[in-house]
């Protein structure tokens, strides 16, 4: 099940039902695109009314603005190492992503994992690798949970949710990126799910097992 909204999240969020998790990758305010001029903050207080746990994906150097945003709600950081790619950081090359967990604790587990970048990336300025999103969502949520991404971009969170048997609500401002997300999520919904509520292991179907060989 998924519901997608094309518009400004501040206008849409108040009309949404309660969800289990907000998992999102907001603009970092690093001028990577025209929507990336400043780090948005108002959405956080609105999302706190909707979800007990909010997970914000950020670059390591952007922890300085993300942790103050969540303030007293801060729980922990989940670190993920990119095994085959690099981004830039103030100290040189960066090869890990941070996810700030705020609100209620997620299920217990190791706060570190590794991911790879593979396959065709969507034509968006800052898409998250699907392997990263799958592992983060599998680690923090349960099959059947409702996950909201108010900065959906090309829809990677939604694709991972659908593949893993989670329900998804996404919001994206840009019509162009919304249409990209809609196509990707609809396609994912046509594939068999990796998880069922009673089976947390990989379904073992050949094409999927091959596609998710790095899945844990
Ligand atoms: C960092 S990108 C998310 C990328 C996404 N994780 C992916 O894998 O494609 C942030 C997205 O937030 C969108 N955005 C910025 N302000 C927004 C707002 N007020 N409401 C909804 N979407 C917004 C931008 O258009 C952009 O696509």
Q: How far apart are CA 162 and CA 91, in angstroms?
A: 36
Indicate whether residue 35 lines ligand 1 (CB < 6 A): yes
| DSSP 8-state class, residue 119 | S
- What's the confidence (pLDDT) of residue 205? 34
Q: Considering the domain 2-211 in this protein, what is its CATH number?
A: 3.40.50.150
**Which two structure tokens, joined as six digits, stand for 62?**
């952007």
The stretch 70-86 carries a mean pLDDT of 95
Ligand 1 probe mutation, 22, 27, 37, 133, most atoms within 8 A of CB:
27
| DSSP 8-state class, residue 154 | T
SS3 at position 205: coil
For the chain, domain boundaries? 2-211
Give the model confidence (pLDDT) of 186-210 as tens digits.
999 998 776 655 444 433 333 343 3
Instruction: Name which of 188, 147, 141 is nearest 167 in CA terms.
Output: 147
Indicate whether residue 172 lines ligand 1 (CB < 6 A): yes
How much of the chain is helix, strand and coil, in % rounded to 5?
Answer: 35, 25, 40
Give the model confidence (pLDDT) of 116-132 as tens digits.
998 889 999 999 999 99
Indicate whether residue 163 lines ligand 1 (CB < 6 A): no
- What's the confidence (pLDDT) of residue 57? 97
- What's the confidence (pLDDT) of residue 59? 87
| DSSP 8-state class, residue 165 | T
pTM for the model stands at: 0.89
Residues in the chain, total: 216
Q: Output the CA 9–ligand 1 centroid distance in Å.
A: 10
Most confident of the following: 31-35, 99-103, 105-109: 99-103
Indicate whether residue 74 lines ligand 1 (CB < 6 A): no
């Amino acid at each position: 099940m998924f519901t997608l909204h094309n518009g400004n999240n501040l206008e849409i969020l108040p009309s949404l039902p309660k969800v289990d998790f907000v998992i999102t990758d907001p603009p970092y305010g690093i001028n990577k695109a025209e929507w990336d001029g400043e780090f948005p903050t108002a959405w956080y207080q609105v999302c706190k009314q909707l979800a007990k746990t909010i997970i914000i994906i950020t670059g390591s150097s952007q922890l300085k603005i993300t942790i103050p945003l969540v303030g007293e709600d801060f729980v922990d950081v989940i670190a993920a190492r990119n095994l085959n790619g690099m981004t830039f950081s103030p100290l040189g090359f960066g090869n890990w992503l941070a996810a700030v967990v705020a609100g209620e604790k997620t299920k217990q587990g190791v706060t570190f994992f590794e991911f790879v970048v593979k396959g065709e990336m969507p034509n968006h300025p800052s898409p998250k690798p699907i392997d990263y999103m799958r592992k983060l969502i599998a680690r923090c949520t349960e099959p059947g949970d409702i996950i909201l991404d108010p900065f959906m971009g090309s829809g990677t969170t939604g694709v991972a949710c659908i593949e893993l048997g989670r329900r998804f609500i996404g919001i994206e401002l840009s019509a162009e990126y919304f249409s990209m997300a809609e196509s990707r999520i609809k396609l994912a919904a046509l594939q068999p799910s990796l998880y069922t509520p009673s089976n947390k292991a990989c379904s073992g179907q050949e094409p999927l097992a091959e596609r998710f060989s790095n899945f844990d």
